[in-house]
Chain A
């Protein structure tokens, strides 16, 4: 099966790639959206004072 990779996905905020599998007829058999990015806000906001969180989480997305 042939694989077409679109990497990176552009013109959006965030990281992504798409992997498309083509069957023998050249039709799309399946496609996967992959997110090759994790920063870990879920973890590193723990332990921060609550009043500081509004200054940390805007950096999830600055667009």
Chain B
């Protein structure tokens, strides 16, 4: 059998997904055995023009990580889609927007202002902002357009498979590699993780889901054996897809939802609101108001990794 051609790309991401691929350790040699890597900016020196020169559908599998928040990222996503038989949204940013999608609570103008003018480490008295085109003495410089809204990969191109996680854990990556190697991929559209919730794979003792106060970490010393949510600590387990191996829970940290919504759930944050509302033992309206106050940052907590993919999508933009 001819060797497979594999491409990897990062858009708005941190590089953690690329490193996660290397975290498979010696198994990376199996990948090298069955596939030639034809594009991988973090590790290999291929340029965009090399990809442009490939015939269409030349890459067998493209693992695309990162959200799409600039014209460059959108055009590379479209380019790689055209050149790839199978497109995989790899990691939470490509699947749901991830941490970069928190920028959807602001606007491009807010972000530019903060990053380049207000931030205390800046030295920018003329308030220069990045421009798409800049004239310099020698000619013209170009930058991509930064979009107002951070998008998921599937909001820009067709995607065959979704591998969630921030980053995807090694066992899941190996599952993907094995599926590719044995030509045993699931039907298109599949999310390569569990279909159940994180609670389903969490070993903590669950008794009765009833809480009367929501705690921040400094207000409570959690019992390491018991369900965090039952102790009043916001844990996204009921609204999050399983498949991570409960990594955060096992080190006494509540889930923040990086695997996205479980199968059949459209909006992870709404699911979590419903989960909290159904276990809160309220004694009158003032009690409910207090609970709402105790959740310091509901939007940023319930949509920590999933704002682009949610029904909210972003903060409302002012009409111009």
Contacts and interface: CB of A to CB of B under 8 A. Distances in A.
B114 A11 contact: no
Interface in B42-57: 42-48
Interface stretch (B13-21, B171-179, B237-245): B13-21
A29 B144 CA distance: 24
B277 interface: no
A15 B18 CA distance: 13
Given A40-B115, A42-B111, A34 B105 contact: no
B144 A36 contact: yes
B19 A63 contact: yes
Contacts of B130: 38
Interface string A1-14: 10100111011111
Contacts of A21: 138-139
B14 A37 contact: no
A11 B146 contact: no
Contacts of B100: 39-40, 59
Contact of A29 (B12, B41, B138): B138
Nearest to B18: A63
B296 to A, nearest CB: 5
B246 interface: no
B115 A3 contact: no
Interface in A4-63: 6-8, 10-15, 19, 21, 29-30, 32, 34, 36-40, 42-44, 46-49, 51-52, 55-56, 58-63
Nearest to B300: A48
A11 B45 contact: yes
Contacts of B70: 36-37
Q: Contact residue range for chain B?
A: 35 or more
B69 interface: yes
B104 to A, nearest CB: 8
Contact of A34 (B44, B46, B69, B141): B141
Contact of A43 (B15, B99, B114, B142): B114
B136 interface: yes
A14 B106 contact: no
A49 to B, nearest CB: 5
A42 B115 contact: yes
B6 to A, nearest CB: 16
Contact of B301 (A46, A52, A60): A52
Interface string B115-153: 100010000000000100000111101111010000000
Contacts of B10: 15
Contacts of B110: 43
Q: Interface centre among A13, A30, A43, by most B CB within 10 Å?
A: A43
Contacts of A34: 141-143
Nearest to A16: B41
B49 to A, nearest CB: 8
21 contacts: A1-B138, A1-B139, A7-B48, A8-B47, A10-B41, A11-B41, A11-B42, A29-B138, A34-B141, A36-B70, A37-B70, A39-B100, A43-B111, A47-B300, A48-B102, A49-B297, A51-B218, A58-B14, A58-B16, A63-B14, A63-B42
Given A8-B48, A63-B14, 15 more contacts: A13-B15, A14-B15, A36-B144, A38-B115, A46-B114, A47-B105, A48-B297, A51-B216, A52-B304, A56-B102, A56-B304, A60-B14, A61-B15, A62-B17, A63-B15
